[in-house]
Amino acid sequence: MAHSASVGSVKRNVNVAGKRLGIKKYGGEYVKSGEIILRQRGSQFHVGTNTAMGKDFTIFAKVPGFVSFRRMTGYKRTQKYVDVLEKQSEVTAEVAEKKPVKAKQVAKKVTKAKAE
């Protein structure tokens, strides 16, 4: 017969604080040089133009500009890259398409199409 209680998982349960990982600046947002764009464990995202990686895989901006995300398909897998572009017009078309469109702009396009 045991004279002490067995140590179960309940007695060893410890709350650990979250590490606040993830994307901090999204595509099309303006960043200053040195600002953190994303924090990650391992290299899910790779450095692109005007970005650098810290020792804990944090990606940050080297120059001021606009954040852009892209995918490059290589052999057997697709890699994700983070870029900082100096001009907003250089930001990829995907980011430009995701911007919300105002109802007035849609109405103008519809009336022009009907006129033609």
pLDDT in tens, 19-68: 999 999 999 999 999 999 999 999 999 999 999 999 999 999 999 999 99
Q: Look at residue 49 and tell me if it is in a domain.
A: yes
- Structure letter (DSSP) for residue 88: G
Q: Does residue 8 lie in a domain region?
A: no
The residue segments making up the domain with residue 67 are: 22-115
63 falls within a domain: yes
pLDDT tens-digit series, residues 62-85? 999 999 999 998 888 899 999 999
Number of domains observed in the structure of the chain: 1
Which whole-number Å values give the CA distances from 1 to 4, 5, 6, in the listed order?
Answer: 9, 11, 12
Q: Are 51 and 38 in contact (CB under 8 A)?
A: no
pTM of the model: 0.66
**CATH number of residue 77's parent domain:** 2.40.50.100
On whether residue 36 sits in a domain, the answer given is yes
Compute the half-sphere exposure of residue 113: CA atoms within 13 Å on the CB side of its CA. 6
Does a structural domain hold residue 1? no
Which contiguous run of DSSP H or E holds residue 112?
Answer: helix 103-115
